[in-house]
Structure 1
Amino acid sequence: MAASSLLSLMFLISTLLLASSSLFVAPNPTTFTIPLSPIFTKHQPSDAIKTLNSLASSSLTRAHHLKHPKSKPPLTKTEVFSHSYGGYSISLNFGTPPQTVSFILDTGSSAVWFPCTSQYICIDCPIDPSKIPLFIPKLSSSSKFIDCQNPNCARISSTNSLSGCQGCNCSQACPYLFQYGKGSTRGLLLSETLDFPEKLFTNFLVGCSNFSNQQPAGIAGFGRTPESLPSQLGLSKFSYCLISQRFNDTSESSDLVLYRGSSSDAKTPGLSYTPFRKNPVSNDSALLEYYYVDLLKFIVGSKSVNIPYKYLVPENNANGNGGTIVDSGSTFTSMEKPIFDAVATAFEAEMGNFSRASADVGASIGLNKLNLCFKATGLKFEKIKFPELTFEFKGGAKMELPKVNYFSPVDVGNSSFVCLTIDSTPDSVGPAIVLGNTQQQNFYVEFDLKNDRFGFRKQTCNRK
């Protein structure tokens, strides 16, 4: 969401309460395990067409934000959809005594913030704003607002610089505005205690947001810059396993695991690894917080897709065009149009027995943003033999996707279609490929920060 899919109300609240009561620590005192759940909007997604169109729109908006991290917020309102949000949430305890707050897990941004104070306002929220858990600073003895003179303010807030208190009075609390693919949030910077059962992290920098737009929860940024949760906790690595959600309600969850302290160079058994790529040389802090990996090849069926080199490797300049980032805050993987067109052509060739839905059909059913649908009337999705889709990374690591990670069934009246859940984006700046959470589902993934590498293996992610 760096801030850019890609989420029934009673279930959301019960899920958050359940997650907040089940936070626990693994036997190793330097390992923290946190329940990880899909997060949903206030309505059951009964209309698959609208759900997919909503998630596609969210992913494309998110991709545009990731490519244009310094863009000004739009002056017009954006679309609001009432179906699944397409993200994953965790619960954390902040304050003294601790208060439990829900956060969206986001590897595409770094800032950490929560809905804050009894005066919190959320406009165009995908859930009932009155049901969002709030953090109340006056109920915590460890809450301290950061003033504008604090160096942390200059790093967090775009209104300040290290040379002075530009944009606010030096005696005032530090303001911020964080923008995401869909929506934004603003508030004041806070120093607080993050409470795990066996360890307290004091002086944790967190945003106290009093106004948000389209945000169903707080956001825990897991990016690479100093204000992120991994950086502030001094993590050596973190891992998660995203359960497969068919954009409907579920009571299932999985785990996010945080590792602190020294760790060896040994690889986790069963994982395939690819190194993180050094981020493009840039003064743009948003590019610096992304997790770049070298995705070198797409394999559709048995054939490799020819992708020009310029799209696979980021430029080593201020623009940082090209390359691939891993983003848990995006629902669908997005690709620049030349890449998507090549992948779509390969799928069309491999699915010769299926007719591709025309552009008119796609537009009429609201799936124009998904770009690639095939007619499948009379066929059960489970019985269709799709060409395999494999992402091959530097070092030979291959992510062989289950078909539910890249195709989705859609019924329209008496007709049925299967649609590729990968988006194309016309933007030609910033990362060329954003690897979203739908394509990461039912993979155990590891961000090894100490050894600067990304690991993964296929795994059923539901907690036992």
Structure 2
Amino acid sequence: MFFIYIIQLLQVLGQDDDPIHTSIIHGSSDLGYYFVNIYVGNPPQRQSVIIDTGSSITAFPCDACDQTKSCGIHLDQYYIRNNSSTQEELDCKSQFGECTCLRCLNQQCIFSISYSEGSHLEGFYLKDQVIFGDLLMEANSVTSVFGCTTRETNLFKTQQANGIMGLSPKTNTSLAFPNIVDDIHTQHNGMNLFFAICIGRIDGYMTIGQYDYSRHQKNSAYYTIQYMHTQNKPVYGVKISQIKVHNKTILAGADLQSGGGSFIDSGSTLVNAHPDVTRALVNFFVCESANCPQMQFNDDLACYVYNKTLHGSFEQFISFFPTYQFIMENNFIFDWTPRDYLTKDMVQHDAYCLPVAGYSGSVRMILGQVWMRNWDIGFDKENLTLTFVRSNCSSDQLKHNFTADDWFQNELNQSNITVKTRYPPKNVDQEFLYEALKIVIVVLTSIIIIIFIVCIRKRNLSKQNKKGSKLPEAEDEAQKAVQKNVVVVQ
């Protein structure tokens, strides 16, 4: 345990101005996701969890999962329940925050979640001490509920990170247990119901309870908008009135607000949208240089090949591409620059792409990690607001003198040793639909049982009535026989 403290202290050395609940984000677009480390139990056991604003559950494998069959090999050792003196299993009547156990089996409070791309998690809930923040000796623990995964499939099984940390607005409601953000707010005085995610091209940082202002440039501009969510759509929805390129509107609000609208999902890699929206964005992805080759499509993404001899530095190369302006409320213009969106192709290492892909599900626009890059985005769950501030989202330096060449070259070097994966958008309504379906099944089952009981009772009453109606007839026949015998005797 002492060595973990030393390692963590070295990692954050020189970052004394960070709030105590600050954690380095690890990951990249090549990896397909970004994750943080949390520390669970007493003594703490490290668990790596993907940050996912589109999910409401925090879960990772524990010692109840068979690593050879049901769960994969991940960065950290499975959480061992008996190694923690403070762990407690939730039963069927357990309540924590605003949520009471929704599903029960064999006196265990259980969960089962499936996503549209095929990934699946199931297991049971536990309660234990959890620390969020890389300064372990300063960050205080909170009591938190999480899932002990006993079965995982597809991407959940093959990913490096152990599990997932759900950050959606749905947490701490009647449909979901509180998450670590809710728990820090309720159990630590002075902590806001707030978290901020700053995703870089590689790595980043996350804070809970307040912004990490020490990592923002002086005189930074802060833009705040309302986010939209309902019980039926538990997401961080944003109202985009239009998208412009070169001061020309390429998409109107009606195209961006139809269906499920637009929302931020840190668990998805790309920007996924209706084919009409995707087509409009790709049509303006034009390299404005005579030396640019013809655009090509790799894995359905529009790409251009970078050639240092023809295009010069990365800084010069990215200057050939347009900036997409997302016009939002309060006159906020979200600039999505080439420095932010150009994404290296997973196979052709010298090709850079527009990370926009079609979405075959319901009409919506899913703003994934590549859209969030180089903005420190604050999620205020108490006031239902999102705050945006520009940042380099560096995980290890507070200075802001990075160039595009620093970023892109570092990304290129790391990509040679990274397992390349893209996380497709999940059906963020899946959990809600599951609960709604469960309620419908319970109601239907109850109705069927009631009808069955009523039918049985009616049948029994009918038998009794028939028996009662035949009894007087038998008595009449007996009396007639007696009278006949009397006559005979006479």
Please state which band the TM-score falls in when normalised by the shorter chain. Answer: 0.5 to 0.7
Give the direction of change, closer, same or farther, for the CA distance of 1:441–1:277 in structure 2 (3 Å limit): closer
SS state at 2:276 partner: helix
Q: Which residue does the alignment assign to 1:273?
A: 223
Judging by fraction of residues, say which structure has more helix: 2
Q: Which residue does the alignment assign to 2:149?
A: 209
Give the direction of change, closer, same or farther, for the CA distance of 1:105–1:182 in structure 2 (3 Å limit): farther
**1: CA distance between counterparts of 2:165 and 2:82?**
22
How far did 1:192 drift? 0.8
Give the direction of change, closer, same or farther, for the CA distance of 1:458–1:260 in structure 2 (3 Å limit): closer
Amino acid at match of 1:183: S
Map 1:96-245 onto structure 2 (within 5 A).
Answer: 96-117=42-63, 119-121=65-67, 129=73, 131-151=75-95, 155=99, 160=103, 168-169=105-106, 172-180=107-115, 181=117, 183-195=119-131, 197-198=137-138, 200-213=140-153, 214-215=155-156, 216=159, 217-225=162-170, 226=172, 227-234=178-185, 235-245=192-202
How far did 1:354 drift? 5.8
Instruction: Tell me which of 362, 370, 394 is aligned to 1:428.
Output: 362
SS state at 1:344 partner: helix
Q: Which residue does the alignment assign to 1:256?
A: 206
Contact 1:324 1:433 in 2 (8 A): yes
Give the direction of change, closer, same or farther, for the CA distance of 1:325–1:200 in structure 2 (3 Å limit): same
Is structure 2 residue 311 aligned with structure 1 residue 369? Answer: no
What percent identity do the matched residue pairs reach? 21
Structure 1 unaligned segments of length 5 or more: list them: 1-14, 40-54, 56-83, 246-252, 262-267, 315-320
**2: CA distance between counterparts of 1:30 and 1:404?**
28
CA RMSD across the alignment = 3.9
Contact 1:334 1:434 in 2 (8 A): yes
Give the direction of change, closer, same or farther, for the CA distance of 1:224–1:408 in structure 2 (3 Å limit): closer
Amino acid at match of 1:101: Q
Give the direction of change, closer, same or farther, for the CA distance of 1:220–1:156 in structure 2 (3 Å limit): farther
**2: CA distance between counterparts of 1:436 and 1:95?**
31
Per-residue Cα deviation, 1:279-330 (whole angstroms, up to 9, x for no partner): 24x5x4xx22x11111222122332213351x4336xxxxxx2311111111
Work out the number of aligned pairs and report it: 361
TM-score (norm 1): 0.67
Larger Rg: 2
**1: CA distance between counterparts of 2:14 and 2:290?**
51
Is structure 2 residue 392 aligned with structure 1 residue 392? Answer: no
Is structure 2 residue 26 aligned with structure 1 residue 37? Answer: yes
**2: CA distance between counterparts of 1:352 and 1:301?**
19
Contact 2:142 2:183 in 1 (8 A): no
Structure 2 unaligned segments of length 5 or more: list them: 173-177, 186-191, 212-217, 398-490
SS state at 2:200 partner: coil
Contact 1:157 1:177 in 2 (8 A): no
How far did 1:122 drift? 7.4
Give the direction of change, closer, same or farther, for the CA distance of 1:269–1:135 in structure 2 (3 Å limit): farther
Instruction: Tell me which of 236, 239, 249 is aligned to 1:291.
Output: 236
Amino acid at match of 1:342: A
Q: Which residue does the alignment assign to 2:486?
A: none
How far did 1:418 drift? 4.1
Contact 2:228 2:384 in 1 (8 A): no
SS state at 1:347 partner: coil
**2: CA distance between counterparts of 1:324 and 1:334?**
10
**2: CA distance between counterparts of 1:87 and 1:97?**
28
